[in-house]
Structure formats: structure tokens, C-alpha cells
Structure 1
């Protein structure tokens, strides 16, 4: 089982690791993609983007700026976006690999040091990250809809097969999206938890269900082998089939 990284209470609203399906479900949160870039530029932080010091990414002044003024600005922009759209929007900077938050699905943003070369470029990157994140949430909602709901009155074999296919499909989708880079398994477990929530499984049961199914076999920088994906899918599917039989 994997423990989520500790997050200070003050930062919790803008950290995506703990986002729940009700918080990100596109059906619950209207969004106008065409209006998003202008909206980003209308928020208070957009008027005060900190200028990046001259020098390469390895320059000490640039590193300090990235961890200091630039990070504080990105946090402020996250808070402003969450204030406007809801907490789902904090995922705009959940970059793949070792970006601002480890192991996410976003490619348009990395971290302040690399994504804020100039004020206008920074705002472009924020808007692009927001649009990419929202697109991923909508993509996941569509994937969930392919497998849910499991037909009422379905036999145990049908339930087992439906869950096996769904879990294998979602793990593969997250691996492809994150590149199985650093920390990818955190978002994978989260996506599987979102699927459980969409299927009506109470949130307080997710940790045990996913811990038993995954069993510590997903690792940074390693794409899980097909037998591992099949075993994880089979474990969770059997548990869900047994629940239906009980």
C-alpha cells in the first residue's frame, strides 16, 4: 500500500493528491474551455508574475527564485483558480515526473523554474495546464462510462469480467498518460479510487480495496508488466464479484 505524501493543512486545497471523484467529476463542474485563457489572465496573480532571473536552470539565483517567489506565485494562482472553478482546478500543475507534484498526468506545465521563462509564457502555461487537466478528467469520465454501471442482475462471471477489463484499461491509460515516470502510481491508485466512487463504493473502503489489489507492485519509472496488471485487475475484480454475491 502507498501512503499519500504529507500535506500541510494550509496547502491542502491546492494539492491534487487527495482530490475525490465528486470534486473532479466533469458532470458536476461546468467549464468553458474557450473562456479559460482569458479567465486565467483576469485573476489577480496574473498581474504580478515574478520575473525570472537571468541564467540557466542550474543557476543558483534561478533555483532560489523557483523555490521561492515563483512557487509562491504558482500557489497563489492555484488558489485563485480553485476559488473560481472549484478544487478540481488545482490539478493544472500536476506534472508528469518530478514536477511541482510528483507523478501527475499534465505535460503543459512542469515547475516554475522551467515553465515561467517570462510572464506571458507563464500565463500561457497555466492556461494550457488547466485545459490539459480538464481534458484528462473528461477523458476519464468517458472511460468510466464505458464500464459503468455494471448491468443489474449480472451473473458473477459477467461482473468479474467487467471489473477485470475496467481496471486493466484504467491502469494502462494512466501508465500511458504519465509515462510510468516518477510517482505515477499515486495518480493510478487515485484514478482507480475515482472509478470505485463512480461505481458507488463508499470512499472509506477504497484504501483497503486498492491496497489489497495493488499490493505494492507499482513502482516509479517502471511500467508494470502485463501479468502484474492482470493480477491487480483480477484481485480487485474478484473482490467486487464477491461483494455482489454477499
Structure 2
């Protein structure tokens, strides 16, 4: 089995480093694919426990997971590490652990479509980085305030794009996390340090099952920019614990100057 890349380093996925023939992707998938297991015909148990149905469902899950792993190994061996994320695209074209529910031709067509969707997304990210990275490099020698501002703009753009790309409101975290880490590693920050910074910044929002609001994006971008720019800058002070963040969605953030009026007493 191919060793599992983490894909935290931009160099692992940068399209400029990894040639790809989109026109031939479907043929490659057909040539590399292991035999597709039969479509799962057993419905998942719902309200009534059925031991036989549960066993069949678990077996379908195991077959699908094994097949997905073998398909992924084949793609990585052929294309390189970037292909490991073929099922991570911002649109849900393939769910890695779902039982196989289609015929072999349709299954392989969906795999090829998911691979190409992932590649197109990486190319879109690369286009953004081509614009953002020069601005970050130019701002660094000017001074910490200019550097913080440049990072804040870059982070805000990526957070907005990642949230918009996600097909479902509870799927924004993955695209946003990946792009933020990739941007940091693209500027030379060590991978572990980049992941730690992004993990800490996104932690308060990690269980938010809704798209990021404009206030969320602004707060996240500002805090992460101060942490990345260096020790000579100071991150904004933490909010008073009695003051809620932007949850529920209609509440103001710490950027607001007024609290919502209290509910009237009955």
C-alpha cells in the first residue's frame, strides 16, 4: 500500500510541479482501477434492528473502503502525491467510505470526474497564490504593520473562497484549512508550524455547521495575520468571556460596538 501523504505542504499539490493530462484522465482511471465490487443492494437498517442487514451493510462498507484505498494507491503511484486528495474536492462528487452504489462504468466515470474536479480546484488555488504571494513578499521588508495587513487580506480572501466553494454549509472547514496551510508553506513556513497555527486559529469555529459570516472571516483573518507576522506584533486581546462570538449566526462579533438589546422582561 502506498504511504499516505498528508498534503499539508503546497509543494505536494502545486500544479506547476505536477503535470497532468486532463484529457486522458478517464482512460488512466479505467486502466488503473481494481475490479469494482458489486453495487450494494442491501438497504441500511433504519428503525428496526436486523442483524443480517447490519452485517451486509458492514460488509458493503468494508468492500467499498478497501476498493477506495486501492484506487487511491493506484492514482498516487501514477500521478504523484497530489492525487491522494482526489476525493477531497470542495464539491461532493465522491464520498470515500460510501458503499459502491453504481455500475462499474458509472463508478469509474465518477472517480475520473472527482479527480479532475480536485485538479481544477488546485489550479484555481494556484492562480490565487500567484497573486497573493508577491504581495506578501513585498510587504515583509516594509515593516510589521504592512506585513500584518497583507497577510490579513490574503487570509480573508482564502477564507471567503473556501467557504463559498464548499457545497454544504458544514463542509467549509476542509477547503479553508487546506488553503491556509498551503499558503503558509508556500512562503517557507515549516509544515508542522503552519498546521499548528491554522488549527489554533480555526478551533473556535471548528464545530460551526454554517458558512462563515463576513464577521467570522474578518476576525479569523486578523487573528491569524498577527500570529504569522512575528513576535514584534501583538494579536488582538481576547474577548471578555461573557461576550459571545458570532454564535448564533445573528449575534455580532467583537468588532461590533454595541451589544444586542436585552430581551424584555415578561
Smaller-chain TM-score bracket: 0.7 to 0.9
The CA distance in 2 between the partners of 1:87 and 1:24, in whole Å, is: 7
Is the contact between residue 197 and residue 224 of structure 2 (CA under 8 Å) also seen in structure 1? yes
The CA distance in 2 between the partners of 1:201 and 1:189, in whole Å, is: 15
The CA distance in 1 between the partners of 2:200 and 2:98, in whole Å, is: 38
Q: Which residue of 1 aligns with 2:36?
A: 49
- Give unmatched runs, 5+ long, in structure 2: 46-52, 234-266
Point out which structure has higher relative CO (alpha carbons under 8 A, 6+ apart).
Answer: 1
Distance 1:181 1:79, change over 3 A: farther
The CA distance in 2 between the partners of 1:66 and 1:123, in whole Å, is: 18
Distance 1:237 1:92, change over 3 A: same
Q: Which residue of 1 aligns with 2:12?
A: 23
Is the contact between residue 29 and residue 108 of structure 2 (CA under 8 Å) also seen in structure 1? yes
1:142-153 alignment runs, 5 A limit: 142-149=127-134, 150=136, 151=138, 153=141
Q: Which residue of 1 aligns with 2:184?
A: 196
Q: Deviations over 1:25-75 (max 9, x none)?
A: 111111111111001111151xx1111143556675763353122221111
Spell out structure 1 runs of 4+ moving beyond 6 A.
none
The CA distance in 1 between the partners of 2:220 and 2:77, in whole Å, is: 37
**1:175 corresponds to which of 141, 163, 177:** 163
Q: Deviations over 1:194-232 (max 9, x none)?
A: 100112222232134224433422324222222221111
- Give unmatched runs, 5+ long, in structure 1: 1-9, 95-103
Q: Which residue of 1 aligns with 2:238?
A: none
Is the contact between residue 148 and residue 226 of structure 2 (CA under 8 Å) also seen in structure 1? yes
Q: Report how many residues are paired.
A: 223
CA apart distance, 1:118: 0.5
**2:206 corresponds to which of 213, 218, 224:** 218
Q: Which residue of 1 aligns with 2:57?
A: 63
- Higher Cα Rg: structure 1 or 2? 2
Is the contact between residue 90 and residue 166 of structure 2 (CA under 8 Å) also seen in structure 1? yes
Distance 1:229 1:244, change over 3 A: same
1:90-109 alignment runs, 5 A limit: 90-94=84-88, 105-109=90-94
Is the contact between residue 180 and residue 221 of structure 1 (CA under 8 Å) also seen in structure 2? no
CA apart distance, 1:158: 3.0
2:76 paired with 1:77 = no
The CA distance in 2 between the partners of 1:11 and 1:42, in whole Å, is: 18
Superposed CA RMSD in Å reads 2.7
Structure (1 or 2) with the greater helix fraction = 1
CA apart distance, 1:177: 1.7
The CA distance in 1 between the partners of 2:109 and 2:4, in whole Å, is: 23
With normalisation by structure 1, the TM-score equals: 0.78
CA apart distance, 1:179: 3.7
